A and B are shown apart, each in its own frame.
Chain A
Amino acid sequence: MSKWVLKGLRTGIVTTRYPGSMETSPGVSPGRPVSTVLRGQRGLPEIPSCPTGALVQRAGKTTVDHKRCIHCRRCVRASTPFVEWEWGYEWAEWTSTDPKEMEGLGPSFSRSLHIRFVDAGACGACMSEVAQLTKPHYNLHRLGFFFTPSPREADVLLVAGPGTDHMRRALEKVYDSMPTPKKVVAVGTCSLSGGLFGPSFASEAGVTGIVPVSVGVPGCPPPPLAILHGLLVVVGRRPATSLTDATNQMRGDSQ
């Protein structure tokens, strides 16, 4: 077996330094559209229809509702682009604006967090990104975060998918079996608004109607670092980005 040990040692460390410093390798995030002020462009052509209604144009500004955006890129590929694109990945936000609900799990969890993942109808891309977290490039174990096979020892419920009808009961059961304090982090646009799939006869409009979601990580799929950001937000190790702040901050960075 020594050859495997040597192979591992020779490979060296590939793990990102995030959240210590920002990860800048190309390809870690596909980016997303951001709300854009259209300066002096009153007479713009009508925006093409956004398939999920995530884009709204009002008073010279295009607003992006990230809970709905499925990153189809039709808006940026239009002949007259009317949204800007940001390349970050710190996308997690509190779902509530009530300061009382925007509290993390507290310091005792910040370096020891157990996560139960539930697939409520995810397409596979979100799940693959969640799985990447345990792999060498992201290695969330270094932060004291672990996936657990049982809800009984979980502090955070990580859910992906629109909340299919057949998974509703299983999801409720998992949430009920978790000890308090507990928080729910929803991964992916589907889990926040139903995306393309819900509401319908077979899926809900996101898992928010089934379990109380505290932190949402929008994206289709959100890259691993965005999911990691969501987990860091829920333990209070990173600030969340509220919609408007994200836009301003990213603009500030790029200028």
Chain B
Amino acid sequence: MLVSEIPRGGIEGTLRAMEGRWPVQVALERSAYLEAAEVVCQARDLPALCEWLCSELHYTFATLVVLEEERGWLLRYVFYGGVERSLLSLLVRIPGWENSVPSIASLVHAADWHEREAEDLFGLVFEGHPKLGDFVLHEEWPEGVNPMLRGFDGSKPYPHRELDPDWRPDRIVQSPGAFVMPIGPVYSDHAESAHFLLETVGEDVIRTIPRFFYKYRGVEKIAQGRRVEDVLLLAERFSGTSAFAHSLAFCQAVERLSGLQVPERARMLRIALCELERFRHHVHAVAEICSSTGLGVATSQASILEEELLRLSCMVSGHRYLFGLNVPGGLTVDLTERKLTLLQNGIREILKRFLDLEDMLRFSSSFLDRLEEVGIVSAHDARAYGLVGPVARASGIERDLRKVLPYSGYERVEFRVPCELEGDSYARLRVLFREAEQSAQIVEDVLSSLPQGPISNTGPTPTAGSALGWVEAPRGAAFHWVCLEEDGVVARYRLTTPSFTNWHGFHLAAENFAFQDFPIIMASFGLSNAESDR
């Protein structure tokens, strides 16, 4: 397709062009700040449609939601970013006896892990996918056991099969001078559980093969059948370091379902707290990067700021990690004038010291030597893998959900989305500093013009239905799909987290590097396994 053929006229133009080429049924829903299109298509047209959306129209794959229905499957492929402030979902129905659907992973690589996950947990076969099996569920799980299926009882332990003593990874490099170095799942002083196989020829690592889901707690499964207020606790606690962002995404999905309006003051406070969390996360990420290069004083300096931000969060909100604040309809606690001043002054002072630290780092050549041109992710790869957050923005992809799909009043907040082009560890570090600066500025702006009024609305119990909530979490775009039954019981909860998306692309950076750079590449990605494994 030629460039000139790209349909004009926003999402409506896209839908019209789609109708002209494929037998699809489209529906468009408009609200003040968002256009959401739903397109029902045939399974056989799915790959071509997805390729068209992603390659020609520059949509980004957000998530794949698999729903097990009475008589079959409903697959929902969500895309965003092609047209600003719009979401596009492709819906595919598959009859129950058919269990298979064409894979789109070779055309839309961002969907690769989503398909592998769905195969493992639902037993769906994605025809044409090059590698299925042994992903979420490790080797002790028998084949053919799919815990996300409705018939599987998730409330009690599952009896495992005996471990095969001869089990070994798919591929073990064996040639003169080459070997495989396993790392994890328990490694380093205090690191999250994950496993990496580094294929190496002495000093240089050729390839990194990660293996995750050691921390799989089945959050999506155990949420089923729980009430909204209990699932909120799960949304908050599955990834403690970005608790506020994830609870906000969940609350927004529920609010969309029940039509609850959030009072203006709560919307603005949510923004301030989101940015406080982002600021703290970025300070932590910088501390980790300094620590990975062995720069002791800088690590200590950044860590001091991190602990001060934790204490500030505790003084302001009552919890060091901002747990227990979000609730559908608003917030649980209001911030008094004294606390607002404390927060404003605290952030201003910490930002100043944080930028001082940046100035010192910028002129420490030994530090820069370790970061520059290490762990490069090209813009092309970042786009193909649908990378999100600071990692993508360091590779030249200027995408931020706060801008492309504004929520909670972000459309009225002025800020910049920092972007770098190099895609190396130093670019990621610079993005972290610039974003932290923007976050502090947003807190300052939002708090200085905070409207008075209530901080929460209560409404009727949410009605049955499904909705998507999203948020630009500190590590990138997060999508929470919530499907409710009557009486506010969750029937399906789908979590797509930035760490899951970015770990998928981690191996791009961890290729052809020197051994001692591994911790630096890890730290510069700043990902969480708790968030990824769920």
- Which chain A residues have a beta carbon within 8 Å of chain B's beta carbons? 1, 3-5, 7-8, 11, 14, 25-30, 51, 70-74, 77, 116-132, 134-137, 147-149, 151, 161-162, 164-167, 169-170, 174, 195-204, 220-221, 223
> Is B63 an interface residue, CB under 8 A from the partner?
no
Which residues of B lie under 8 Å from residue A162 when comparing CB positions? 217
> Is B360 an interface residue, CB under 8 A from the partner?
yes
> Cβ of A170 and Cβ of B185 under 8 Å apart?
yes
> Cβ of B238 and Cβ of A3 under 8 Å apart?
no
Which residues of B lie under 8 Å from residue A166 when comparing CB positions? 138, 213-216
> Cβ of B217 and Cβ of A30 under 8 Å apart?
no
> Cβ of A72 and Cβ of B233 under 8 Å apart?
yes
**Residue with the highest number of chain B CB atoms closer than 10 Å, among A30, A77, A126, A198:** A30
> Cβ of A118 and Cβ of B186 under 8 Å apart?
yes
A-B contact pairs, 6 of them (CB 8 A): A11-B304, A27-B313, A29-B314, A129-B320, A200-B218, A201-B155
> Is B237 an interface residue, CB under 8 A from the partner?
yes
Q: How far is the CA of A164 from the CA of B239 in the complex (A)?
A: 15
Which residues of B lie under 8 Å from residue A148 when comparing CB positions? 189
Give chain A's interface secondary structure class: loop
Query: What are the 6 closest A-B residue pairs judged by CB atoms, nearest first?
Result: A125-B240, A27-B311, A202-B218, A135-B303, A27-B314, A123-B240
> Cβ of B323 and Cβ of A3 under 8 Å apart?
no
Interface residues of B in 311-325 (CB under 8 A from A): 311-315, 318-321, 323-324
Which residues of A lie under 8 Å from residue B218 when comparing CB positions? 200-203
Question: Which of chain B's residues has its CB closest to A116's CB?
Answer: B186
> Is B193 an interface residue, CB under 8 A from the partner?
yes
Question: Which of chain B's residues has its CB closest to A194's CB?
Answer: B217
Cβ-defined partner of A73 (8 Å) among B287, B318, B366: B318
Q: How far is the CA of A116 from the CA of B154 in the complex (A)?
A: 31
Tell me how far the C-beta of B170 lies from the nearest C-beta in chain A, rounded to whole angstroms.
18
- Given A27-B310, A27-B314, A123-B240, are A164 and B216 also a contact pair (CB < 8 Å)? yes
- Given A166-B215, A202-B221, A203-B218, are A70 and B237 also a contact pair (CB < 8 Å)? yes
Which residues of A lie under 8 Å from residue B155 when comparing CB positions? 199-201
Question: Which of chain B's residues has its CB closest to A9's CB?
Answer: B297
Which residues of B lie under 8 Å from residue A127 when comparing CB positions? 190, 192, 530
> Cβ of B297 and Cβ of A7 under 8 Å apart?
yes
Tell me how far the C-beta of B456 lies from the nearest C-beta in chain A, rounded to whole angstroms.
11
> Cβ of B237 and Cβ of A220 under 8 Å apart?
yes
Q: How far is the CA of A215 from the CA of B473 in the complex (A)?
A: 35
Tell me how far the C-beta of A124 lies from the nearest C-beta in chain B, rounded to whole angstroms.
4
Tell me how far the C-beta of B212 lies from the nearest C-beta in chain A, rounded to whole angstroms.
9
Q: How far is the CA of A65 from the CA of B332 in the complex (A)?
A: 24
- Given A124-B528, A125-B243, are A26 and B315 also a contact pair (CB < 8 Å)? yes
- Given A27-B314, A51-B233, A72-B324, are A11 and B301 also a contact pair (CB < 8 Å)? yes
Cβ-defined partner of A71 (8 Å) among B189, B241, B312, B324: B324
Question: Which of chain A's residues has its CB closest to B231's CB?
Answer: A196
Tell me how far the C-beta of B37 lies from the nearest C-beta in chain A, rounded to whole angstroms.
35
> Is B531 an interface residue, CB under 8 A from the partner?
yes
Which residues of B lie under 8 Å from residue A26 when comparing CB positions? 311, 314-315
